[in-house]
Every structure is written in C-alpha cells, then in structure tokens.
A and B are shown apart, each in its own frame.
Chain A
C-alpha cells in the first residue's frame, strides 16, 4: 500500500518552455504533499509543502512564481516549472502523507533536462 505515482519519469525540453509534473497518491488520500529537488550526488532539498486546498508553503530561496504548485485534490498535486532554463535541470521528487503522524511516501522522481 501507500503508492505514489509521479509522471513523467523523464522530460527533455527547450529553454523557455514550461513543464508540468504530476504526483498522485494511488491508494491513500494525501492531505499533504511535498516537493523535493535533488542535484547529482546530493541529498534531497525540500522545495515546498502543500496541503490540499491551500496555497503551498515554499522554502527559503525557492521562487513561488517559478515553481507553481497546485494541490487541488487529496490524490493529486502538480509542480509546474515555468519558463524553464538549464539551471532548472534536476531530479524532482514528490511525496505524500495522509496524517501528520504518518510517514511520507515517495514517488519515483522526474528527471528534468532543459536544453
């Protein structure tokens, strides 16, 4: 149980385009979803936390207008990287959690490459 599906797994696009990444909780209701970014050989860095029906809370240094997060339902959150540039190339991972006293369950990540 507790499966999180992330789509797409890999995307390559030109600089200046916007890219949307979906994160779905398949068998549980994720009241909170988290978006992380991971650079090569580094650990996960939290970008933002979103609660269903509320605006996302962004970590310091993360541009909210650059990384648009929507969490409109208990099973779906989306991250849109707007006007992507090569420096946005990274591995993006989402996770979902049902209750605050329960662990996060992670998706398989999205490899984003901006040319």
Chain B
C-alpha cells in the first residue's frame, strides 16, 4: 500500500526566503506526482505535475523535482511571499493500469511572514 509522507508538517519563514518542502513515497511504481496548494476552507489548486519519466518541472518561482528510485520529491519555492502561505500537498498517481487513484500526503502548512 502506497504511503506518502511530507516533512515538515509546518513551516514558518520570513518573506523573501527560499524554501524546500519534502515529499516521500514508499512505492516507486508511480505514474506521476503532483504538488497542490490548498488555502483554508478551499479545494486544491494544482501547482506542478511531474510524469514518472521526468526529473523536474518549473512554474514561475516554483520548481519540483522527482527522484522516483529513492521515492522522493521536493518543491522549491524561491523568494517566498506572504501570498504563498497555504498548505502544500503532494500526491502520487499509481501506474496507469491500476487507474488514477491519488494518494495524498498530509501536507506542509506554510506561513510566510511579512
């Protein structure tokens, strides 16, 4: 059974700092990995999706890497801003043959202080 772990559970940083969020998964047989953002009381916004054959994806100040063999992914946020404050979730999608049933980590709650 796939298990996804995110470290740290919570993080508080001053504005402008670069930071790294970590995600690990136990079963390396994944189809893709996604990073999401969730604001309080809201649904999920997809940030980045990395296919199993890819090593990283970039969008603006965000960069996500994937090391499938070691079961790890990181989300790098450059020059953090107060508006980045949210919970960040990673989710893995199993191999295509078993259908797309995402397994989520418990998230990292990020606070960026002005």
Contact = CB atoms under 8 A, between A and B. Distances in A.
Chains A and B form a bound pair: yes
Given A43-B104, A43-B106, A100 B96 contact: yes
Interface of A: 4, 6, 32, 34, 42-46, 49, 91, 93, 95, 97, 100-101, 103-109, 111
Interface stretch (B36-44, B53-61, B65-73, B74-82): B36-44
B89 interface: yes
Main SS at interface, chain A: strand
B46 to A, nearest CB: 6
Contacts, number: 49
Nearest to B36: A106
A6 B42 CA distance: 11
A101 B41 CA distance: 29
Nearest to B45: A106
Contacts of A106: 36, 43-46
Given A43-B107, A103-B46, A32 B100 contact: yes
A43 B89 contact: yes
B99 A43 contact: no
B64 interface: no
Given A43-B89, A104-B100, A104-B102, A93 B107 contact: no
